[in-house]
Amino acid sequence: MTLEMLWERADPAQVLRSRFGFTDVAAAEDWVIRTLDRWWNVHVVVCERIVMSDHNALAWVSTADGRMLLKWSIAPEGFERLAFAADLTTWLAERGLPVSAPVPTPDGRVQVEEDGVSMGLQHVIGGTLLDVRDPAQVHAAGATLARIHDALRDSPDRARAAGVRPPPTPLVQQVAGWLEAAPMHLPERVQRTLRRRLGAAPSDDLPVQIVHGDYRAANVLCADADVVAVIDFEDLRLDHRIVELARSAVLLGTLFHDWGPVPGAVHRQLLDGYRSVSALTADELAWWDVLVLWNTMLFIPSGDDPTGWGAAAEALAG
């Protein structure tokens, strides 16, 4: 069995001990096996891999029912959000959306809490992470996001979402407030362009709905030109759909390390895919350039810029 960190530069064996409380890999493996047997009546043939990220962990296991993935968290402040995500993902799966639905326990629970741990089980879905160099996959990702947004707009759990995370502040206030305190290293020309576009933007009184919260390559599984699963709904929140679409366009190519921008052509491919399923209003489209530029500027580092966020912002500023 392998033990690793998802993105942190840390010793996984030490993290396993100090953060998750297991004496060694064997103890963690034993806990995974006993947990699946106790709560899901699933017999583990072998525990293949454990990956840790912050206060969350994932274990890939082989079972008589195929490969499965146990996800657990030891951060109690996020348990309500995880339970909400499990319920909503189940709801989306019941409506035919390509998501990784939780495997319920025999008594029907899709998220289990015990002894300071919140956990859920899923089947491992075959596929590869979205390749932003493939226009067909990017178009499909946009279309899939639109279908998910359309479904989430009708979710009966909107009030519950507001309890998990507060609704966003008005868009003009968000962007203007950030510009007022913008870091000194940001190119002045790009800042001027964003101010000008913000001043010309229409009303920000746009509909607010539940959105995925982290729609990018690391969370989109594809097979050929099709999206087979959207995963990791743990960042669900209330927001404007155009905000998620623009942020997703900017961050679409990001995985776990060395985040970098994608070409403007990829932004347009995602937008075209989205609009092939769900029309955007004139006001929403008018916010597109503002939001794409702003989200790009958010990632310009103060020092070395090996992945080119500064150049990407300059190109978007025209």
What is the CATH number for 229? 3.90.1200.10
Block means of pLDDT (10 residues each) for the chain, length 318 residues? 91 96 97 98 97 97 96 96 96 98 98 97 97 98 99 88 86 97 95 98 93 97 98 95 99 89 98 99 98 98 95 97
Q: Do 253 and 292 sit in the same domain of this protein?
A: yes
Q: Do 87 and 195 sit in the same domain of this protein?
A: no
78-113 burial code (b ≥16 CB/10 A, e <16): bbebbbbbbbbbebbeeeebbbbbbbbbeeeebbbe
Q: Do 283 and 173 sit in the same domain of this protein?
A: yes
Q: Do 272 and 190 sit in the same domain of this protein?
A: yes
Q: What is the pLDDT of residue 300?
A: 97
Q: Do 300 and 217 sit in the same domain of this protein?
A: yes
What is the CATH number for 17? 3.30.200.20
Q: What is the pLDDT of residue 256?
A: 81
Q: Do 85 and 134 sit in the same domain of this protein?
A: no
pLDDT by residue (tens digit) across 264-283? 999 999 999 999 999 999 99
Q: Do 105 and 234 sit in the same domain of this protein?
A: no
Q: What is the pLDDT of residue 164?
A: 78
DSSP 151-199: HHHT-TTHHHHHHHSPPPPPHHHHHHHHHHT--TTS-HHHHHHHHHHHH
Q: Hey, what long-range contacts does 2-5 have (CB within 8 A, 24 or more apart)?
A: 2/48, 2/49, 2/50, 3/28, 3/49, 3/50, 3/52, 4/49, 4/50, 4/51, 4/52, 5/51, 5/52, 5/53
Q: Do 266 and 288 sit in the same domain of this protein?
A: yes
Q: Do 226 and 116 sit in the same domain of this protein?
A: no
Residue where one domain finishes, among candidates 124, 141, 159: 124
Residue where one domain finishes, among candidates 124, 159, 176: 124
pLDDT by residue (tens digit) across 57-86? 999 999 999 999 999 999 999 999 999 999
Residue where one domain finishes, among candidates 76, 105, 124: 124
Q: Do 201 and 290 sit in the same domain of this protein?
A: yes
Q: Do 115 and 170 sit in the same domain of this protein?
A: no
Q: Do 66 and 200 sit in the same domain of this protein?
A: no
For the chain, the domain total comes to: 2
Contact 145, 274 (CB under 8 A): yes
Q: Which residues contact 68 (CB under 8 A, 6 or more apart)?
A: 36, 42, 60, 61, 103, 121, 122, 123, 124
Q: Which domain holds residue 192?
A: 129-317
Q: Which residues contact 97 (CB under 8 A, 6 or more apart)?
A: 147, 148, 151, 230
Q: What is the pLDDT of residue 200?
A: 97
